[in-house]
Chains A and B, each alone.
Chain A
Amino acid sequence: MPGRGKLIAVIGDEDTCTGFLLGGVGELNKNRKPNFLVVEKDTSITEIEETFKSFLARSDIGIILINQFIAEMIRHAIDAHMESIPAVLEIPSKEHPYDASKDSILRRAKGMFSAEDFR
């Protein structure tokens, strides 16, 4: 639906979140809930999964950016998400460069994948 804008949510490590917040995507909504989650070494997988599910449930989030190594941890929750909005985008982090074979969206097109090669 055109009109009211949607937010970009971020689930990532400290550096990723800082960077994107400086890019201007961060916001606190009416209940002081942020649209991002800083994942540290001691953040539990349940917490990450809860936040991810809550982002999916919010109607004002259009895109969810998530670091690939975090996406690996909640792979089952991401694969279960079949709708087109919010779009879930996997981004590389500093330690883990982008690995296309783990991307859940690209894996869905596995049939056509052998024809296209990654360069």
Chain B
Amino acid sequence: MSGKDRIDIFPSRMAQTIMKARLKGAQTGRSLLKKKADALSMRFRQILRKIIETKTLMGEVMREAAFSLAEAKFAAGDFSATVIQNVNKAQVKVRAKKDNVAGVTLPVFEHYQEGGDSYELTGLARGGEQLSRLKRNYAKAVELLVELASLQTSFVTLDEAIKVTNRRVNAIEHVIIPRIERTLTYIITELDEREREEFYRTLILKGSRRSRRRRSSSVRGRRRRSRSVWRHWGRSQSP
């Protein structure tokens, strides 16, 4: 694949040690991230199953609550208008708490009561019992829905976190580690090449030194050479 270069660094022994250490670090990082992604996926699947269960349960609870609403309407007449007009303060509120799973903070909803019942006087005329049962049913439905909402938010947050972690794992595995390995191979080949060059150079030097020595020893025996020949020989030796 094009674009996967090696890191530009001067090939030396120290660079090789540095690259080796970096490779080790990248591999450890990748395995750690993989473990984190696995833990998150496991939790994700658990939550998904729980959501499906709770949703089906919620469908039933809502149906029952709607049924009791119809009963109450039958008994007490149409009180919807009065209920809608009499809104002022909410009794049931939710708090967002933070839960931590494998390093990911998930928001969790916790519901709590506050203040009294604003609709205590509704249904005093008729249908009081149905109305109070209705209120209880809907309060139960609200509790269940709050739990469902917590599950849903954790679900969404976990989904994002898993995607990010997997992206990082893939990046390390397919981009960073090959790049470092390439750099390492490059450094090693360069160092080997340099060694070979030096070795070859020393060979040549040794060879020329030997031939020089041989020639000089053979000349030592023949003092009959004229001075001009000496001078010429000396000049031919200069680089």
A residues whose Cβ falls under 8 Å from a Cβ of B: 1-8, 14-28, 34-36, 38, 62-63, 65, 82-85, 87-89, 91-94, 97-98, 100, 103, 105-106, 108-109, 112, 116, 118-119
Q: Is B138 an interface residue (CB 8 A)?
A: yes
In angstroms, Cα B91 to Cα A5, docked, is 11
> Which secondary structure characterizes the binding site on chain A?
mixed
Q: Is the CB of B55 within 8 A of A98?
A: yes
Query: For A24, what are the chain B residues with a Cβ–Cβ distance below 8 Å?
Result: 90-92, 113, 117-119, 135, 139, 142
Q: Is the CB of B134 within 8 A of A38?
A: no
List residues of B (11-48) whose CB comes within 8 Å of A's CBs.
44-45, 48
Query: For A8, what are the chain B residues with a Cβ–Cβ distance below 8 Å?
Result: 90, 92-94, 142, 145-146
Q: Which of A26, A87, A109 contacts B48 (CB 8 A)?
A: A109
Q: Which of A3, A5, A6, A38 has the most CB of B within 10 A?
A: A5
Q: Which of A8, A14, A85, A116 has the most CB of B within 10 A?
A: A8
Q: Which residue of A lies closest to B88 (CB)?
A: A28
Closest 7 CB pairs of A and B: A5-B93, A23-B138, A24-B91, A27-B90, A98-B59, A26-B87, A87-B149
> Which secondary structure characterizes the binding site on chain B?
helix
Q: Which of B91, B122, B156 has the most CB of A within 10 A?
A: B156
Q: Please give the distance in Å from A62's CB to the nearest CB on chain B.
A: 5
Q: Which residue of A lies closest to B142 (CB)?
A: A23
B residues whose Cβ falls under 8 Å from a Cβ of A: 44-45, 48-49, 51-52, 55-56, 58-59, 62-63, 65-66, 69-70, 79-80, 83-84, 87-98, 107, 109, 112-114, 117-119, 122, 131, 134-135, 138-139, 141-142, 145-146, 148-150, 152-157, 159
Q: Is the CB of A7 within 8 A of B93?
A: yes
Q: Is the CB of B109 within 8 A of A27?
A: no
Q: Is the CB of A18 within 8 A of B152?
A: no
Q: Is the CB of B62 within 8 A of A98?
A: yes
Query: For A63, what are the chain B residues with a Cβ–Cβ distance below 8 Å?
Result: 94, 109, 145-146, 149
Query: For A62, what are the chain B residues with a Cβ–Cβ distance below 8 Å?
Result: 94, 96, 109, 149
In angstroms, Cα B152 to Cα A83, docked, is 11
Q: Please give the distance in Å from A20's CB to the nearest CB on chain B.
A: 6
What are 15 A-B contacts with C-beta separation under 8 Å?
A2-B95, A5-B95, A8-B90, A18-B69, A19-B134, A21-B87, A24-B118, A24-B139, A27-B87, A62-B94, A91-B58, A91-B62, A92-B59, A98-B56, A98-B59
